[in-house]
Structure 1
Amino acid sequence: MGYFRKFILKIIVCFLVGSVQGQVLDHSWSAIVLDMDDSWYATKEAQNIADNVLLYQKDIGGWHKNTAMHKSLSEEEKLQLTASKSDSNRCTIDNGATFLEMIYLSKVYKKTKKDVYKDAFLNGLDYILEAQYSNGGWPQYYPLRQGYYSHITYNDGAMVHMMNILNDINTGSKNLGIQVDSATLSKTKLAFNKGLSCIIKTQYKQHGTLTGWCAQHDEVTFQPAKARAYELPSLGGVDTAQIVSLLMTIENPSDDVKRSIEAAVIWLEKTKITGLKEERYITTEGLKEKRYVKDPNAKPLWARFMDLEDNTPFFCDRDGIKKASIMDIKQERRAGYAWYNTNPNQVLKQYPTWKKNLKPHPKDSYNVTVAQDGSADYNNIQDAINNSKAFPYDRITIFIKKGIYREKVHVYEWNPKITLIGEDKAETIITYNDYFDSVNLGRNSTFHTSTVLVEGNYTQIKNLTIENSAGAVGQAIALSVGANACVIENCNILGNQDTVYLTGEQNKQWFKNCLITGTTDFIFGNAITLFSDCEIRSKSDSFITAASTARLSKYGFVFKNCTLTANQGVTNVYLGRPWRIYAKTVFMNCDLGKHIREEGWHNWNKPEAETLGFYAEYKNYGEGSPLKNRVKWSHQLTKQEAETYSIQNILGINSETEWLK
């Protein structure tokens, strides 16, 4: 009798499991990921599906698309999937791929706490980070495939899905239930900010006015791009709505984001189609068909493709020729493609609430605070600058609380008299990682790489670390100063090649008590600049300065009471070389470390610079200071000559307070 009962129970269990499995198979993969009751993800069935997801994941971390992960696998199929894990050729973010699998794994991990699911999620995250372009966009496939697959892809929510995952990680969303370490969090925050920058840059301007976005944008030019034959460059209502929905989730959005949302909403209102309803039916031949009929009560529709010039909806067959009416294309394309969509209605419904909840501008516009935790007037530095008065009569002080601010900061020409002051030099960090090849704007790409770019006269920067974190990958500016009467005080300015760029033939700048690090030519440009009481740290055997002083300028770079240090193993460093032949550089009363070469200076294979330029020293000391073997064309200042290198003569002031009123 006991054996019989066990046998009956076994049959019942098999029947119940089969019934539940059948119910699950009735769902689409996306519905199982997004729509199941939260408690279901703790079940054995959910874990079995998660194990399938693990099998389908490739070693690179991504997944292929259009795979029903929830369907049972035979032992042979499992072996085949295991054997093909190194095949990453078709890994993609298209059609919800990678996004859906990561969300599913996070939900199962949240309930089971099994590390195998978390590890797979993190492997997927590594894939997302690796696949992102340096400009912030994502291609449809990674590794890259030739053709339209390499375009920045908004179609079907591809890039928005990636941004949503990053945003959930960055904000510690409880929906994920997965926390990452601080190093990974730094990467995801940077990736999100880069993605946000890409979204802002790709928003299409129609005759000078911001509108919406396209399904694909060129990965280099950001311009609208073609995909399949019937997917011509065009504006898209659905793609725009998905992007705006993402942007409206950002807490304390920047002015750029606000402008982007406002413009897109105006465009969506402008392009909605009213009084038209879609009807689906079966023809007498048994074919699926659709038509559009007048209906005054129908929800507004938006066309999938709109003309870039005038927003006119158009339709396309596989011949790639624009058609004015959906009835002008063949039944296969007409019925098999979503030419209209109602989803933007939800965005327009959410917009008034978003607008109402916007944080007002600070009452004191001359003294504002930046903090990343939402406790201050602004969450990022650029927003504070963007909201500053143009050409103010009084100085504007932007106090920056401790934190790592991963953003490019630009003090514009119309923003003079700004002070950026950090709470703590070591813990208030502005960092970004643009470099020559990543910017990819031609021979002058270097000048676009700055983490902080100052073009407003009378700017003061104090108690901050400014870093270009790209690493030893070529030219990568941390701080670029192209303005007059600027004071940089008690700052760490960190980089490799071309760390500090100082420009403007008539511009004068003063660096006080700063640490500047770099490898090659890491202080360069043509501005008149005084460095006093600074540490200049070389990170490789190379050149410290590369001046390009103007021909008629009496002064160029002047270092007074500075300390020249070097990383361990650095033993052969030149004080400078001439970027341009009239270069002028002087070191006075400086402690020169033993890493300084006995020749001191290099002519950069420009013999004329030896007579047209001016390289000099005065009363330097330290192991790198002996003058016996200095190049013969360098100068040793007399006491009388040294007296002409006063603050008054170099900068035209007696103290920085004259600039900082």
Structure 2
Amino acid sequence: MAHANSSYTCIFVTTLFIFMIASPRADAAGTSVALLVRVDQSGKGDYRKIQDAIDAVPSNNKELVFILVKPGIYKEKIVVPADKPFITVSGSQANSSIITWNDSGDIFESPTFTVLASDFVGRYLTIQNTFGSGAKAVALRVSGDRAAFFGCKILSYQDTLLDDTGRHYYSSCYIEGAVDFICGNAASLFERCHLHTFSEADGAITAQRRESPSEDTGFTFLGCKITGVRTAVLGRPWGAYSRVVFALTYMSNVILPQGWDDWGDSSKQSTVFYREYKCYGPGADTKKRVQWSEKLTDKEAEFFLTKNMIGGKSWIRSTPTRFRKASTAISNNSTGHA
């Protein structure tokens, strides 16, 4: 069953514009000076653990805090609380700053790294859940508004990235898993990301959870690359109104010809919004796609080809250009933080 693409896009634009007006960027995001806090396992920084550095940020924080993570393997289960916005956690290279844990079970409790705060930035980190197959095992949960990730590696098997709620931006990230490994109900743009699936049959890359036509949520993958081990589908509907767009994306032959799955519920075929636009590669052939997915026209695609779809120009911030050292109020060196 076909959709009226233009009406869906119009509703999405209108509701998102209203949402942007109602939640303007906070003042701290406009500054270029950040408080520098160093995490170093060797004891040469302000803290040995990433969580200790986060815990030291005051509640209702109003300034940019830049937590620089020196190379190492950090065996931590990390939470950025909702009352601590404007935090950046940054490594220098994703392959050298590794945050790892191995919980499983509840999708909201298993994550290695949980972001509840708004205006969070993650840079050049590996965030992984090493539990493996057999259970839900989230590496990264993002439940705060205006969160951005640059050059990160997000690794697990099932439900790797719980892209839960809020507006999010992922740039040049590597995300791998096998089952529904990008899931949730955020409004997110994935730009120049590499998605790698371990699925051995028909596992879904995405499981987007939009549950009503009034929700301004959905995943857009722009200029991305999809590779894998055997075969997979692009997505299946966690929510009845699931919305996913792949644009200008390379798809290897790992993508099955049908492209999408209705998760055993044919009624969702008339409510989902699954679209592709000028994708390429052996997996991008749409001749045998399910009839309830469609291509976007050039006009319809315009909205999905910029950061406007998440209001990103108002909140995605560049790296601070100036830093000041942490005072004793936030810096406690490494003593007592072994």
Question: If the length of structure 1 is used for normalisation, what is the TM-score?
Answer: 0.42
Q: Deviations over 1:486-517 (max 9, x none)?
A: 0011000011000000112xx10000000000
> 2:219 matched to which residue of 1?
557
Matched, 1:544 2:234: no
Look up the match of 2:267.
608
Q: Which residue of 1 aligns with 2:6?
A: none
Tell me which of 36, 40, 44 is aligned to 1:367: 36
What corresponds to 1:573 in structure 2?
Answer: 232
Query: What is the match of residue 55 of structure 2?
Result: 386
Show CA shifts across 1:580-600 (max 9, x none). Answer: 111001100000010100000
Change in CA separation of 1:404 and 1:557 when aligned onto 2, cut-off 3 Å: same
Task: Tell me, yes or no, if the aligned pair for 2:62 and 2:85 is still in contact at 8 Å.
Answer: no
Alignment of 1:414-429 (within 5 A): 414-429=83-98
Within 1, Cα distance between the matches of 2:61 and 2:84?
A: 8
- Structure 2 residue corresponding to 1:592, chosen from 223, 239, 251: 251
Q: How many Å apart are 1:612 and its aligned residue?
A: 1.2
Percent of aligned pairs with the same amino acid: 35
Gaps of 5+ in 2: 1-32, 321-338
Does structure 1 conserve the Cα–Cα contact (< 8 Å) formed by 2:146 and 2:316? no
Residue 609 of structure 1: CA displacement? 1.4
Shift of 1:656: 5.5
Give per-residue Cα distances to partners, 1:250-288, cap 9 Å, x unaligned.
xxxxxxxxxxxxxxxxxxxxxxxxxxxxxxxxxxxxxxx
Query: What do the CA deviations read for 1:114-142 (whole angstroms, capped 9, x no partner)?
Result: xxxxxxxxxxxxxxxxxxxxxxxxxxxxx
Correspondence for 1:455 among 116, 120, 137: 116
Within the alignment, does 1:640 sit opposite 2:299 as a pair? yes
What is the DSSP-based 3-state SS (H/G/I as helix, E as strand, rest coil) of the residue aligned with 1:366?
Answer: strand
1:464 corresponds to 2:128: no
Q: 4+ residue runs of structure 1 moved beyond 2 angstroms?
A: 646-649, 653-661
Distance 2:47 2:132 in 1: 29
Amino acid at match of 2:133: A
Q: Which structure: greater strand fraction?
A: 2
The 3 A distance-change label for structure 1 pair 635 and 379 is: same
Question: How far, CA to CA, are the matches of 1:623 and 1:395 in structure 2?
Answer: 44
- Partner of 2:94: helix, strand, or coil? coil
Partner Cα separation in structure 1 for residue 315 and residue 71 of structure 2: 26
The one-letter code sitting in structure 1 at the alignment partner of 2:50 is: I
1:410-455, CA deviations, whole angstroms, 9 ceiling, x for partnerless residues?
Answer: 000011000000132101100000011xxxxxxxx22110000000
Determine if the alignment matches structure 1 residue 494 to structure 2 residue 176.
Answer: no
Larger Rg: 1 or 2? 1
2:68 is the alignment partner of 1:399: yes
The answer (yes or no) to whether the contact 1:458–1:660 under 8 Å persists in 2 is no
State the TM-score, normalizing by the size of structure 2.
0.81
CA distance in 2, matches of 1:584, 1:656: 23
Deviates further, 417-426 or 651-660: 651-660
Q: How does 1:8-47 map to 2 (within 5 A)?
A: none
Q: Partner amino acid for 2:154?
A: I
Aligned to 1:523: 182
* Distance across 2 between alignment mates of 1:653 and 1:510: 8
Paired residues for 1:43-122 under 5 Å? none
Q: Secondary structure at the match of 1:410?
A: strand
Letter in 1 for 2:58: K
Distance across 1 between alignment mates of 2:296 and 2:94:
35
* Structure 1 pair 573–630 and aligned structure 2 pair: CA distance change class (3 A): same
Secondary structure in 1 aligned to 2:264?
coil
Cα distance in 2 for partners of 1:614, 1:475 equals 25
Contact 1:647 1:654 in 2 (8 A): no
The question of 1:617 aligning with 2:286 is answered: no
Asked whether 1:376 is paired with 2:45, we answer yes
- Measure the CA separation in 1 of the matches of 2:211 and 2:144: 15
> For 1:612 and 1:657, how far apart are their aligned partners in 2?
31
Shift of 1:375: 1.2
Select the structure that is richer in helix: 1
- The answer to whether the 8 Å contact 1:458/1:659 transfers is no
Separation of aligned partners in 1, 2:277 and 2:61: 41
Q: Which runs of 5+ in 1 are unaligned?
A: 1-363, 437-444
What is the RMSD computed on CA atoms of the aligned residues? Answer: 1.7
